[in-house]
């Protein structure tokens, strides 16, 4: 029996939000979709270079433009757009740009997320501004993107795939993560509701719930002993995940081989929350 090869991605147009970081989930999702034959629209917030971590500065990193170059090096078209997923007008402009430059949209990966920060406190100590910041990007951004690009897919009439990058936090719902956990749990509800609504028109909607992934988002945990203890304490497979681990699940869900899957919340976490 021949080895399984994912099909159905060649020539598709994929939009990946939050794709500008060098050590991230969004970058490998964009690159692996391109490697599978997709043309890619990449979005980022247009970070100032003085906010780049040291490894990005040393590499001469240029945010979404660097990822766009990687996509083009694979022979695919790339469009890099500075955009705010929490701004409804900006999202509508992104749809228009995608269709104008690449002709259509087949895949949307809602990966943009608010940075870990001052929201990581008890609810009684949580500043409402921090709550709104997390909800606006994580939940409202996913809603606005799914709404606008879902309409575009319906107008095209030949289906599509939306993948929301959530988190195990939306299932664990631990202390000092109220805003983040609430945003991710709400994404689960949005995912399942949209899957039921759009399934009859062949638009599939799924979510991936990563565990501890070794990206810039976790840089508040020093690498070395503290990091190793975190991994050993929480992950039965004894390693943190990589962006590639999430990218490969995205590819499967968007491929022909994943075409009978919708409304699912896939945990990809090395065994951190078994059974959920």
- What CATH number does residue 77 fall under? 3.40.50.720
pLDDT of the residue at 116: 86
Q: Is 180 annotated in the active site?
A: yes
Distance CA 186, CA 188 (A): 5
The catalytic position among 52, 180, 216, 266 is: 180
The answer to whether position 104 is within a domain reads: yes
pLDDT of the residue at 115: 87
Question: Measuring CA to CA, which residue among 146, 161, 150 is closest to residue 257?
Answer: 161
Q: Residue 151 is part of which domain span?
A: 13-268
pLDDT of the residue at 63: 97
Tokens of 206: 């799924």
The answer to whether position 125 is within a domain reads: yes
The answer to whether position 6 is within a domain reads: no
The number of distinct structural domains making up the chain is 1
pLDDT of the residue at 3: 61
The answer to whether position 4 is within a domain reads: no
The answer to whether position 273 is within a domain reads: no
pLDDT of the residue at 276: 87
CA 255, 250, 134, 121 dihedral sign is positive
The answer to whether position 147 is within a domain reads: yes
Instruction: List the chain residues with pLDDT less than 70.
Output: 1-3
pTM (two decimals): 0.96
């Amino acid at each position: 029996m021949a080895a399984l090869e994912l099909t159905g991605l060649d020539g598709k147009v994929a939009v990946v939000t939050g794709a500008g970081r060098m050590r991230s989930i969004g970058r490998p999702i964009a690159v692996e979709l391109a490697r599978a034959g997709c043309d890619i629209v990449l979005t980022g917030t247009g970070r100032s270079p003085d906010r780049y971590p040291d490894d990005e500065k040393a590499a001469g990193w240029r945010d979404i433009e660097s990822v766009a170059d990687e996509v083009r090096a694979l022979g695919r078209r790339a469009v890099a757009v500075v955009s705010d997923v929490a701004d409804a007008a900006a999202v509508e402009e992104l749809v228009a740009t995608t269709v104008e430059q690449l002709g259509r949209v087949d895949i949307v990966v809602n990966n943009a997320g608010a940075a870990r920060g001052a929201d990581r406190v008890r609810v009684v100590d949580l500043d409402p501004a921090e709550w709104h910041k997390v909800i606006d990007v994580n939940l409202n951004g996913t809603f606005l993107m799914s709404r606008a690009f879902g309409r575009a897919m319906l107008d095209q009439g030949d289906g599509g795939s939306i993948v929301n990058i959530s988190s195990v936090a939306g299932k664990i719902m631990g202390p000092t993560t109220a805003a983040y956990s609430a945003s991710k749990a709400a994404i689960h509800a949005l995912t399942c509701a949209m899957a039921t609504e759009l399934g009859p028109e062949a638009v599939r909607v799924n979510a991936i719930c990563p565990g501890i992934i070794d990206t810039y988002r976790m840089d508040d945990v020093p690498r070395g002993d503290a990091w190793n203890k975190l991994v050993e304490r929480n992950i039965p497979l004894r390693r943190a995940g990589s962006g590639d681990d999430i990218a490969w699940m995205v590819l499967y869900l968007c491929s022909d081989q994943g075409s009978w899957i919708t409304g699912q919340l896939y945990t990809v976490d090395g065994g951190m929350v078994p059974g959920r």
